[in-house]
Amino acid sequence: MHTYLVTGGAGFIGSNYIHYMFRKYGDDIRIINVDKLTYAGNLENLKDIENRSNYRFVRADICDKDAIAAIFAEEDVDRVVHFAAESHVDRSIETPEVFVQTNVLGTAVMLNSAKAAWELPDGSFKPDHKFLHVSTDEVYGSLEEDGGYFYETTPYAPHSPYSASKASSDMLVKAYMDTYKFPANITNCSNNYGPYQFPEKLIPLIINNALQGKNLPVYGDGRNVRDWLYVEDHAKAIDMVQETGRLFETYNVGGHNEKQNIEIIHIILDTLREMLPESDPRRANVSDDLITYVTDRKGHDRRYAIAPDKIKSEIGWEPETMFAEGIRKTIKWFFENEEWMKNVTSGDYEKYYDSMYSNR
Ligand code: NAD
Ligand code: DAU
């Protein structure tokens, strides 16, 4: 039976991963979720599993060495899945330091704590103990509009403070693997969407604003391209890489679902119109007239696109959820969880929204 230490499990991808793992393995695993509960962490995301006897939540900062060491001392952890991070590019442009603190220093603390707990007197590591570092395709920089893909061999060229901090964290993991033969993998994934995503990110922000008849802010010309992946497919990839991937390897996750931002917005508007019954008062709010072009993001990367050849050929993973299906599932989830959206958009979210969008 594996015992997982999951960091950032109260966030978007982490909570989807925890749900996925309990659905797949039931009582055959134990999960300890360590999360600081920043604005992005929300225990509501885990309500339906919080009372499981094989689940434990610890509120802690991954930069707090003593708190992390205590978990390794108390629990027989043999799997770490490291999601915890500051994750939003726009926030990183405003406050880079917190990204360096959590994403770089926090990763160093996680690596060092796992190394201390797992290292044997001869410098080797306990058998079948593994660390998976969840990273992003943004470390590779930006692709030309008319071609090319990110491969595992693509040189790192991060542009935003967020991607620079994630690139640094990847380098630390690589350094631990090279120096100590520390048993780890890195996954670099494209843009995720799905349930529990905080509405600072494009897709939930557009769904939420459209339902309320609020402007839909499009940065620049709206033609920046992202490669969208349904979050459950990402959760599955992480599990497959950790269980069947070659140790010390990096795997890119994503693939062949490139869309311009403006296309995404039109798909969301069309899907909302399809899914909302005529009698629903929100239907009248949903309109193309809400689309508002605003000042571009500073240093906005033009295009991301993953070539998932390695993960497909070595591990047999490929995306399963077509965008048309994934976006319907996502919208359905937001319809059924109006209270969740109300809760996360009350209070500080309004301040964030005003500061980010009022001068654009
Ligand atoms: P998120 O912002 O939704 O969640 C981050 C979680 O980490 C939150 O629960 C937050 O409370 C927690 N956290 C933040 N700082 C912490 C700290 N110092 N100590 C402990 N917990 C802390 O992020 P997400 O979108 O779920 O992304 C998760 C991971 O996946 C990140 O490492 C991100 O870089 C990576 N990633 C995200 C995407 C995407 O599209 N969202 C794509 C590829 C990779
Ligand atoms: O590629 C993986 C990355 O995807 C992850 O590492 C990040 O954690 C995650 O936040 C995401 O980064 P992006 O910057 O690509 O995602 P975001 O949802 O912020 O923006 C997607 C695109 O939409 C981007 O080109 C900017 C644009 N955008 C975004 C917002 C919030 C808008 O046009 N308007 C908006 O209001």
pTM: 0.98
| Residue 138 annotated as catalytic | yes
b/e code 212-237 from CB counts within 10 Å (16+ = b): eebebbbbeebebbbbbbbbbbbbbb
Give 262-302 pLDDT, tens digit per residue.
Answer: 999 999 999 999 999 999 999 999 999 999 999 999 999 99
Ligand 2 atom closest to 220 (CA): 33
Instruction: Write the CATH number of the domain with boundaries 2-355.
Output: 3.40.50.720
Beta-bridge partner residues of 59: 35
pLDDT value of position 201: 98
Ligand 2 atom closest to 192 (CA): 4
| Residue 232 annotated as catalytic | no
What residue spans define the domains of the chain? 2-355
Give 66-86 pLDDT, tens digit per residue.
Answer: 999 999 999 999 999 999 999
Nearest Cα residue to 159 out of 219, 222, 96: 96
The residue whose CB lies within 8 Å of the most ligand 2 atoms, and thus the one to mutate among 83, 156, 201, is: 201
Q: How crowded is residue 352: how many other Cβ atoms within 10 Å of its Cβ? A: 18
Ligand 2 atom closest to 201 (CA): 18
Integer Cα distance of 71 and 34 in angstroms:
9
Tell me: pLDDT of 359 over 90.
Answer: no
165 lines ligand 2 (CB under 6 A): no
Integer Cα distance of 301 and 143 in angstroms:
8
Tell me: pLDDT of 255 over 90.
Answer: no
| CA dihedral angle for residue 38, residue 43, residue 45, residue 51, rounded to 10 degrees | 150
Return all residues near 318 (Cβ < 8 A) that are at least 6 apart.
255, 308, 311, 312
The residue whose CA has the least distance to atom 23 of ligand 2 is: 202
